[in-house]
Amino acid sequence: MKENTFTPQEIMFSPTTQCNLHCAHCDTEQTGKVLPKKAALKFLDACNRSGIKRVGFTGGEPFYALDFLCLISKEAVRREMFFDHIITNASWFKTEKELRSALNRLFKSGYDGKFFVSVDAFHRQDLRKVASFIKTASRIWTRPDIVSIASVKGTRENETRKKLKKLAVILNARFTGLTSQAPRIKNQNLIINIFSFNLSPVGRAAGLKDPWDGKWFKDDFCKGPGHIFFVLSDQTVKPCCGYAHKADILTLGSIRRDSPRQLLLHARKNRFISTVFESGLHVIRKQLESSGVRFPGKTTNHCFFCYYLTHHISRLTLNRCLNALRKKP
Ligand code: SF4
Ligand code: SF4
């Protein structure tokens, strides 16, 4: 097997696109489509048999598909699979009672992964709800570090910092600051690690004023968030949940008709996917440049580069480039 062959290690389900928020940078179209549980279960089973053992959930807001989360969690436990995390905005509930009941149901289903809560300048949720979510989850799972925070950095870092400070005050905890070695919010009952990442100017985020402070672009291999089967609510499967994942060229197939084995075969046959994962994005850049394409600069974010290739370079030019690469020894 080639060193960088696409080898999915995890299934990430996006059971619904529905969400209680409408963040300015979000490209999720809230279509109301819901991933059918039966098809997802069949796919989970087939993945498990082929050695993919880790499961995660994202959205929209995945708690709007609580039945799905509970069923898949229960069945994953039955098959001795592992959990990665659930990405949530932690503000989807109307009452504390609803929050407790949902988290208790999820706990009883056997889910023992973590929660990633998005808190930053771009997510406008009620921080008191986020605090309740954190306290309730940590109490039910009896784990002080059950919740981590994912924060978008960039030019709005000050605003993000203020929100994190405010959250710490509500939790009666200490915020160590975003630049500390291990950014976290902490008190005697809670350890909330904070992970920051750059927001790339893609999709709706491209229309925002100064959405990020990244650079245009220094290419690289696809290092992820690839190597997963990302199952969308319309049942299509992508090889990653990176910025470019929605591009048609990154479609592997559908859980409606394809087994994990067939999806892998499609990935190997898809020249864009196989080149991105096996040879690296830099090979595509060099080939395009040699045919006269000029890029606006360098970026430190390979998904941003991938987005540029799939959204700003014509399919014809991209196909010519991939054909030329195929003929190279
Ligand atoms: S919480 Fe997430 S899914 Fe919901 S609108 Fe914001 S970015 Fe989109
Ligand atoms: S968007 Fe492209 S570079 Fe990013 S993880 Fe997906 S395939 Fe890799």
Flag whether pLDDT at 198 surpasses 50: yes
Which residue's C-alpha comes closest to atom 8 of ligand 1?
26
In b/e form, how buried is each residue of 228-264, taking b as 16+ CB within 10 angstroms? bbbbbbebbbbbbbbbbbbbebbbbbbbeebbbeebb
Please give the structure tokens belonging to residue 286.
């060099």
Which residue's C-alpha comes closest to atom 7 of ligand 1?
26
pLDDT, average across residues 62-80: 98
Is 22 close to ligand 1, i.e. is its CB under 6 Å away? yes
- Report which bound ligand comes closest to the CA of 16: 1
What is the rounded (10 degree) CA torsion for 116, 50, 250, 200? Answer: 20
CA of 327 to the centre of ligand 2 (A): 24
Measured at the alpha carbon of residue 130, what is the angle toward residues 125 and 135, in degrees to the nearest 5? 175
- Report which bound ligand comes closest to the CA of 227: 2
Picking from 263, 247, 245, 303, the residue whose alpha carbon sits closest to that of residue 7 is: 263
60 within 8 A of 70, measured Cβ to Cβ? no
Is 303 close to ligand 2, i.e. is its CB under 6 Å away? yes
CA of 175 to the centre of ligand 2 (A): 32
Mean pLDDT of the chain: 88
Q: Which backbone phi and psi does 38 adopt, to 5 degrees?
A: -65, -45
Flag whether pLDDT at 8 surpasses 80: yes
Is 61 close to ligand 1, i.e. is its CB under 6 Å away? yes
- pLDDT band (50, 70, 90) for residue 222: very low
Please give the structure tokens belonging to residue 171.
């939790």
Please give the structure tokens belonging to residue 186.
């902490």
pLDDT digits 0-9 by tens, 230-247: 999 999 999 998 888 889
Flag whether pLDDT at 254 surpasses 80: yes
Flag whether pLDDT at 300 surpasses 70: no
CA of 72 to the centre of ligand 2 (A): 26
Query: Maximum CA pair distance of the chain?
Result: 63
Report the nearest atom of ligand 2 relative to the CA of 305. Answer: 3
CA of 34 to the centre of ligand 2 (A): 24
- Report which bound ligand comes closest to the CA of 199: 1
pLDDT number for residue 200: 61
Q: Domain-by-domain residue ranges, the chain?
A: 1-329
What span, in angstroms and rounded, lies between the C-alpha atoms of 45 and 29? 28
pLDDT number for residue 201: 58
What span, in angstroms and rounded, lies between the C-alpha atoms of 206 and 265? 34
- Report which bound ligand comes closest to the CA of 250: 2
**CATH for 1-329?**
3.20.20.70
Flag whether the pTM goes above 0.85.
yes
What span, in angstroms and rounded, lies between the C-alpha atoms of 47 and 10? 9
CA of 58 to the centre of ligand 1 (A): 10
Does a cis peptide bond (omega within 30 degrees of 0) precede residue 329? Answer: no
CA of 60 to the centre of ligand 2 (A): 20
